[in-house]
Amino acid sequence: MSDELRLWENYSACWSAEPTARLGALAAVAIEQIAYRDPGIEVGSRTELATYMQGFADAFPGHRFRIDEVLTHHDRSLAWWTQLGASGDAAASGVSTARHDGDRLADVTGFFVPVA
């Protein structure tokens, strides 16, 4: 497994992490002033992102993300992902881009693929 795939998998696990462990897990994969945006929000710190992740966990109990593929070059990456429901069925999919700061994410933008 590549370092970039491992980074994305660890990042995606933060979305469904226990609330008491989420901020620590996020600190291992993202810089303090991480910029995150998707169609619904834009935040600028790990604490804000952890709070947003908690809102996701509350809205989608038992859901998690699976990283399907990662491409990377020049401190940037592109990750295709699938949101899995509590039963393990695909609930949504998308793609996220990131700028890296060393071995951590510094700027992430998520895009959702419309459900057909």
Task: Supply the pLDDT for residue 94.
Answer: 97
pLDDT at 116: 62
Report, as ranges of residue numbers, the positions in the chain whose pLDDT lies below 70.
Answer: 115-116
Which sequence spans correspond to the domains of the chain? 3-113
pLDDT of residue 114: 73
Q: What class has domain 3-113?
A: alpha beta
pLDDT of residue 2: 85
DSSP assignment, residue 57? H
Give the residue among 112, 114, 110 at the shortest CA–CA distance from 42. Answer: 110
What's the Rg (C-alpha) of the chain?
A: 13
